[in-house]
C-alpha cells in the first residue's frame, strides 16, 4: 500500500488525501497513516511552508505576517524516488 | 488499555471475587519507538507483564485501527478487541461478521458502545476468561518468504537466551532496523560473543532491500484482508466537498482569474468599508485629539518646542500612520477569512503553475504570500526551499511583494487622487509588485542562479468555514503589530526627523534650510526624472528605508509643518499630480526594503554582499519603474 500511496503522490500536482483515498479505495485516516509511515521511513519529507509564527517568534514584526494556514509541502526523497523506480 | 493483575494502581475493579488493576495506556495507532506515547505503550505491554491487553478499536475506522492490533499480536500479547462505536458503524452501514472477524484475527472481538456503557460487561467477562486460559495468539502474520526466512534465522540465535521480549518480535524489530532492540541484543553477552550472529546483524544492517517497508506493507495487507473478508463497507467513498470546490478553484484555466477576482474584491471592499464607512471617523478622532492635546499644552505654558514636537511630530507623523487603521483592520479581516477558509493555500497552488512555467520554484510564491504581510517573515519563509538557487531567488525578489507597512502610503495617495478607484489601484500595485518579482526571479534564474529548480508537491488544507475567533485573532495580530510599530520604530523615526527639521536652531522649522531640508535637497534631484523631485518627497523615501510607514509619517510631518492645520491628503493634492502620485507609489512599492528586511537578508544569506545588492538593485528597479511611469505618462498626455 505504501508504494501505491507514493505513486499517487508522484502523480499529483497537489496532495488531496481524500482523492488518494478515493483512488485507492481506502479511508482518509489510513492514507494519513501511510503518509506518517512514509515520512518515518524517509521516503517523503513534509515541511510546513508558511507557518511564519514559528519562523519569527520573538520578532516584533512577526505579527504582520498574514499567512498562518497549515499548507505543507511534500518532497519525495531520493530514497522514495529509488523505490518508485523499482 | 492493559490489565495488570493486582500490580498497578491506575484503576481497580472486582469481578467474581477477584481484584484487577487496569492501566490505561496512551492512545496510539502503532507501537514503534517514534513517539513518547508509542514507547510508553510498547514498554508497558512488553515489560509490564499485563495479563491481557484490551485493544479498543474504532469500528468506524477499522482498517486503520487494525494496524495496532497486528502489532499487538506480533508481540505475543493476549488480546481482546473491543470493537467500539459499533452503533456509529451501523449508522454508516459498516457491517461486521463478528465470528469471522474474530476468527481471522485470532482474538475475541466484543462490540461495545463505551459512551453508553454497552458491551462493557461482556468485554470484562471475556477478558477475565482469557486471562485464565493458557493460550497463545493464534494468528501468525506472514511477511513474505524472504522475510519469514530471516525471522526464522534470527529466532534460532535468539531462542533460549532469556531475553525480556519474545524472540519472534525481536527478530521482526531487528529487520525493521529498530535501534533500541539492536542495542539490546548486541549488549547481550551470549549474543555479542557469537560471530555468526554479529555477522548476520551486520549483513542485515548493510542490505539494500527495505525489509521495514515490506513488513509495514504486510501488516496493512493483513488488516486489509481481514476487513475484506469480514466487514461489509458502504460501496462508494464519496468525493469530498473540498475536492468538488477545488475542481473549480484550482482549475487550470479558471484558477488564476478567480484568484485575481477575489483579490480585487478584497481591495474594493477594504476601501468601501474601511475608508468610506470608517475612515473619516479615525481621521476626525486623531485631529480632535491633536487639538485637545495642543490646547492643553498651551494652557499649561509648555515650551514651544514641546508643543511643536507633539503636534507636528507625533500627531502629524505618527497620527498620519494611525489614521489608516480602519483600512488595515478591514483588509486583514478579509484576508483572515480567506486564510482561515483554506483559500490562500489554493492561491499559492494556482500561482505555482505560473512559477513553474517561469522556471521558478512554486514554493517561492508561498514566501511571497507571507511577504504581503511583512517581508521579514517572507524572507525567513524562504528557508523551506530545498536548494540554494531557489532560496536565493526567493529571498532577492521578496521585497517586491508589497508588505502591510506600505499600505498607508498607497492609501494617502489614493485618497488624494483616486478615491473612486481605490480597490483597483491597490490591486494594480500588488499585481505590479508580484509581476516585477516574477520577472526578476526569471532574470536571476537565467543569470546569477542557473540550475534546475527542485520539485515539490503541496498538501492543501480542507476548506472550512472561517471561525470568528481565528479571523479576529488574525486581524488583531496584524493591527496590534501595526500599532506596535507606530509606537516604536515610527515614533523613533519621527523623533529623529523632527530634531533634524528644527535644527540648526533659529531656522524656520520644516523649511528647506533645516538639516532635514538640506538632506532632502541633496537627494531630491535623483527623483526629478520621476516627477517628484521635491525635498519633502525625497526625505519621505529616505525615512522609508528605516520603516515604510516612515514615508507617510514624514510626509505628515513636513507638510503639517509647511501648512499647519492642513490635512495630509490636501497637502499631497497640492504637492503632487495624479501622474506623479502613481510614479511615487510605484517607487515606494519597489524601492529598497526597510532596514529590518535588509538585516534579515544578511542573516539568511549570511552575506553582507547580498544584503547590499538587494538594497541597491531594488532601489534601481524602483527608480526605473517610477521614471518609466512618469516619462511614458507624460508622453501619453497625462499630468
| CATH number assigned to the domain comprising residue B118 | 3.40.50.300
Please determine, for residue B565, whether its predicted confidence score (pLDDT) is greater than 50: no
Residue B68 makes CB contacts below 8 A (sequence gap 6+) with B28, B29, B30, B31, B55, B57
Give the model's pLDDT for residue A49. Answer: 55
Q: How far is A10 from chain B (nearest CA, A)?
A: 8
Answer yes or no: do B153 and B127 share one domain: no
The more confident residue out of A69 and B153 is: B153
Please determine, for residue B5, whether its predicted confidence score (pLDDT) is greater than 60: no
Answer yes or no: do B192 and B225 share one domain: yes
Domain-ending residue, one of B84, B103, B131: B131
Give the model's pLDDT for residue B138. Answer: 63
Q: How far is B209 from chain A (nearest CA, A)?
A: 10
Give the model's pLDDT for residue B88. Answer: 86
Answer yes or no: do B25 and B156 share one domain: no
Domain-ending residue, one of B131, B159, B183: B131
Residue A66 makes CB contacts below 8 A (sequence gap 6+) with B332, B335, B339, B344, B369, B370, B372, B373, B404, B474, B478
Answer yes or no: do B88 and B158 share one domain: no
How far apart are alpha carbons B128 and B87 in whole angstroms? 25
| B244 within some domain | no
Query: How many residues are recorded in chain A?
Result: 86
| B246 within some domain | no
Give the model's pLDDT for residue B532. Answer: 92
Give the 3-state secondary structure of residue B160: coil
Three cell numbers written together for B227: 476487513
Q: How far is B443 from chain A (nearest CA, A)?
A: 24
Answer yes or no: do B294 and B427 share one domain: yes
User: Of B542, B511, B514, whose CA–CA distance to B526 is shortest?
Assistant: B542
Give the model's pLDDT for residue B364. Answer: 78
The more confident residue out of B476 and B274 is: B476
Answer yes or no: do B340 and B419 share one domain: yes
Instruction: Identify the bridge partners of residue B83 per DSSP, sorted by sequence position.
Output: B57, B111
User: Of B414, B377, B417, B408, whose CA–CA distance to B395 is shortest?
Assistant: B377
B461: nearest CB among A22, A25, A70? A70
- B399 band by pLDDT with thresholds 50, 70 and 90: very high
To the nearest whole percent, how much of chain B has pLDDT over 70? 90
Predicted ipTM of the assembly: 0.79
Give the 3-state secondary structure of residue A1: coil
DSSP letters, B316-344, are IIIHHHHTTHHHHHHHHHHHHHHHHHTHH
Angle, vertex CA B137, rays to CA B131 and CA B139, nearest 5: 155
DSSP letters, B567-628, are -HHHHHHHH--HHHHHHHHHHHHHS---HHHHHHHHHHHT-HHHHHHHHHHHHHHHHHHHHH
- What average pLDDT is seen over chain B? 82
E strands, B470-581, where? none
Answer yes or no: do B371 and B427 share one domain: yes
Cβ–Cβ contact A82 with B under 8 A: no
CATH number at B212 reads 1.10.287.1770
Write out pLDDT tens, residues A37-52: 888 888 888 876 544 4
Cβ–Cβ contact A7 with B under 8 A: no
Answer yes or no: do B346 and B398 share one domain: yes
DSSP letters, B104-156, are HHTS-EEE-BGGGTBTHHHHHHHHHHHHTS-----------HHHHHHHHHHHH
Angle, vertex CA A81, rays to CA A76 and CA A85, nearest 5: 150
Q: How far is B374 from chain A (nearest CA, A)?
A: 5
Neighbouring C-beta atoms of residue A50, cutoff 10 Å: 29
Answer yes or no: do B72 and B127 share one domain: yes
Give the model's pLDDT for residue A3. Answer: 87
The more confident residue out of B441 and B385 is: B441
Domain-ending residue, one of B175, B201, B232: B232
How far apart are alpha carbons B519 and B528 in whole angstroms? 15
Question: Does residue B555 contact residue B312 with C-beta atoms inside 8 Å?
Answer: no
Containing B80, the helix (H) or strand (E) segment is strand B79-84
Write out pLDDT tens, residues B520-556: 899 999 999 999 999 999 999 998 888 888 888 888 8
Question: Does residue A77 contact residue A45 with C-beta atoms inside 8 Å?
Answer: yes
The angle, 0 to 180 degrees and rounded to 10, between the axes of the packed helices B211-230 and A2-10 is: 100
Number of domains forming the structure of chain B: 3
E strands, B451-599, where? 457-459
Write out pLDDT tens, residues B52-98: 888 888 888 888 888 888 888 888 788 889 988 888 888 888 888 98
Answer yes or no: do B373 and B459 share one domain: yes
Give the model's pLDDT for residue B228. Answer: 87
Using a CB-CB distance cutoff of 8 angstroms, which residues of chain A are in contact with residue B404? 64, 66
Q: CB–CB of B477 and A25 under 8 A?
A: no
* A-B contacts (CB, under 8 Å): 188
- The residue written with cell numbers 495642543 in the block is B294
The more confident residue out of B38 and B252 is: B252
| B139 within some domain | no
Cβ–Cβ contact A84 with B under 8 A: no
The more confident residue out of B620 and B32 is: B620
| B137 within some domain | no
Give the model's pLDDT for residue A48. Answer: 64
- B362 band by pLDDT with thresholds 50, 70 and 90: low
Using a CB-CB distance cutoff of 8 angstroms, which residues of chain B are in contact with residue A20? none
Cβ–Cβ contact A56 with B under 8 A: yes
The more confident residue out of B451 and B216 is: B216
Answer yes or no: do B88 and B223 share one domain: no
Angle, vertex CA B563, rays to CA B558 and CA B566, nearest 5: 100
Residue range A2-85 in CATH 1.10.10? yes
Give the model's pLDDT for residue B636. Answer: 92
How far apart are alpha carbons B341 and B26 in whole angstroms? 32
- Which range among B7-16, B148-157, B238-247, B392-401 shows the weakest confidence by mean pLDDT? B7-16
Write out pLDDT tens, residues B275-310: 666 666 777 788 788 888 888 988 888 888 888 788
Question: Does residue B427 contact residue B263 with C-beta atoms inside 8 Å?
Answer: yes
Give the model's pLDDT for residue B576. Answer: 93
Please determine, for residue B622, whether its predicted confidence score (pLDDT) is greater than 60: yes
Domain range holding B177? 145-232
Write out pLDDT tens, residues B447-492: 888 765 555 667 777 888 998 988 888 788 878 877 887 778 778 8
Three cell numbers written together for A31: 492514507
Give the model's pLDDT for residue A14. Answer: 67
Give the 3-state secondary structure of residue B39: helix
Answer yes or no: do B351 and B464 share one domain: yes
| B85 within some domain | yes
Amino acid at each position: 500500500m505504501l508504494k501505491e500511496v507514493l505513486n499517487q503522490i508522484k502523480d499529483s500536482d497537489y496532495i488531496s488525501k481524500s482523492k488518494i483515498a478515493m483512488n485507492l479505495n481506502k479511508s482518509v485516516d489510513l492514507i494519513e497513516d501511510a503518509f506518517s509511515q512514509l515520512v518515518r521511513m524517509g521516503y517523503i519529507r513534509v515541511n510546513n511552508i508558511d507557518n511564519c509564527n514559528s519562523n519569527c517568534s520573538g520578532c516584533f514584526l512577526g505579527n504582520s505576517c498574514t499567512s498562518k494556514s497549515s499548507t505543507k509541502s511534500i518532497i519525495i526523497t531520493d530514497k522514495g524516488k529509488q523505490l518508485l523506480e523499482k | 488499555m492493559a490489565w495488570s493483575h493486582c500490580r498497578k494502581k491506575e484503576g481497580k475493579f472486582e469481578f467474581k471475587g477477584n481484584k484487577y488493576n487496569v492501566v490505561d495506556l496512551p492512545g496510539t495507532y502503532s507501537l514503534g519507538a517514534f513517539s513518547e506515547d508509542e514507547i510508553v505503550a510498547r514498554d508497558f505491554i512488553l515489560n509490564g507483564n499485563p495479563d491481557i491487553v484490551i485493544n479498543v478499536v474504532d469500528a468506524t475506522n477499522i482498517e486503520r485501527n487494525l494496524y495496532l492490533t497486528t502489532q499487538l499480536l506480533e508481540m505475543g500479547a493476549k488480546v481482546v478487541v473491543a470493537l467500539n462505536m459499533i452503533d456509529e458503524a451501523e449508522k454508516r452501514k459498516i457491517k461486521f461478521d463478528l465470528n469471522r472477524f474474530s476468527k481471522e484475527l485470532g482474538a475475541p472481538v466484543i462490540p461495545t458502545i463505551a459512551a453508553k456503557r454497552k458491551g462493557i460487561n461482556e468485554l470484562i467477562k471475556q477478558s477475565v476468561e482469557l486471562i485464565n486460559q493458557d493460550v497463545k495468539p493464534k494468528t501468525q502474520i506472514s511477511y513474505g518468504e524472504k522475510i519469514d526466512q530471516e525471522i526464522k534465522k534470527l529466532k534460532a540465535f535468539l531462542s533460549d537466551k532469556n531475553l525480556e521480549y519474545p524472540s519472534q518480535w525481536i527478530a521482526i524489530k531487528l529487520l525493521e532496523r529498530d535501534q533500541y532492540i539492536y542495542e539490546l541484543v548486541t549488549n547481550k553477552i551470549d549474543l555479542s560473543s557469537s560471530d555468526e550472529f554479529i555477522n548476520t546483524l551486520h549483513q542485515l544492517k548493510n542490505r539494500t532491500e527495505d525489509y521495514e517497508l515490506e513488513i509495514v506493507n504486510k501488516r496493512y495487507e493483513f488488516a486489509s484482508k481481514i476487513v475484506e473478508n469480514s466487514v461489509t463497507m458502504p460501496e462508494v467513498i464519496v468525493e469530498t466537498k473540498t475536492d468538488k470546490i477545488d475542481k473549480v478553484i484550482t482549475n487550470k484555466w479558471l484558477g488564476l482569474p478567480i484568484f485575481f477576482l477575489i483579490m480585487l474584491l478584497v481591495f474594493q471592499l477594504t476601501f468601501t468599508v474601511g475608508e468610506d464607512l470608517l475612515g473619516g471617523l479615525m481621521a476626525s478622532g486623531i485631529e480632535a485629539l491633536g487639538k485637545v492635546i495642543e490646547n492643553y499644552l498651551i494652557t499649561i505654558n509648555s515650551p514651544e518646542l514641546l508643543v511643536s514636537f507633539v503636534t507636528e511630530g507625533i500627531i502629524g507623523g505618527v497620527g498620519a500612520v494611525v489614521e489608516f487603521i480602519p483600512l488595515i483592520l478591514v483588509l486583514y479581516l478579509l484576508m483572515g477569512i480567506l486564510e482561515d477558509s483554506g483559500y490562500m493555500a489554493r492561491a499559492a497552488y494556482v500561482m505555482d503553475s505560473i512559477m513553474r512555467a517561469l522556471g521558478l520554484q512554486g514554493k517561492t510564491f508561498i514566501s511571497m504570500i507571507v511577504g504581503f504581510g511583512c517581508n521579514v517573515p517572507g524572507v525567513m519563509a524562504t528557508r523551506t526551499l530545498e536548494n540554494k538557487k531557489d532560496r536565493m531567488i526567493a529571498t532577492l525578489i521578496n521585497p517586491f511583494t508589497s508588505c502591510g507597512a506600505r499600505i498607508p502610503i498607497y492609501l494617502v495617495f489614493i485618497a488624494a487622487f483616486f478615491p473612486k478607484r481605490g480597490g483597483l489601484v491597490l490591486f494594480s500595485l500588488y499585481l505590479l509588485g508580484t509581476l516585477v518579482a516574477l520577472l526578476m526571479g526569471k532574470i536571476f534564474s537565467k543569470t546569477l542562479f542557473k540550475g534546475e529548480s527542485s520539485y515539490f508537491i503541496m498538501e492543501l488544507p480542507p476548506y472550512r468555514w472561517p471561525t470568528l475567533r481565528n479571523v479576529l485573532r488574525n486581524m488583531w495580530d496584524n493591527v496590534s503589530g501595526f500599532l506596535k510599530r507606530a509606537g516604536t520604530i515610527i515614533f523613533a523615526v519621527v523623533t529623529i526627523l523632527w530634531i533634524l527639521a528644527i535644527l540648526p536652531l533659529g531656522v524656520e522649522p520644516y523649511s528647506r534650510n533645516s538639516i532635514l531640508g538640506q538632506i532632502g535637497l541633496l537627494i531630491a534631484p535623483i527623483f526629478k526624472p520621476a516627477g517628484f523631485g521635491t525635498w519633502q518627497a525625497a526625505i519621505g523615501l529616505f525615512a522609508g528605508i528605516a520603516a515604510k510607514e516612515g514615508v507617510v509619517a514624514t510626509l505628515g510631518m513636513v507638510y503639517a509643518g509647511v501648512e499647519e492645520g492642513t490635512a495630509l491628503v490636501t497637502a499631497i493634492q497640492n504637492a503632487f499630480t495624479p501622474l506623479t502620485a502613481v510614479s511615487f507609489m510605484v517607487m515606494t512599492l519597489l524601492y529598497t526594503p526597510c532596514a529590518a528586511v535588509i538585516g534579515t537578508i544578511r542573516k539568511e544569506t549570511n552575506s553582507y554582499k547580498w544584503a547590499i545588492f538587494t538594497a541597491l538593485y531594488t532601489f534601481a528597479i524602483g527608480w526605473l519603474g517610477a521614471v518609466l511611469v512618469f516619462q511614458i505618462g507624460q508622453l501619453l498626455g497625462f499630468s
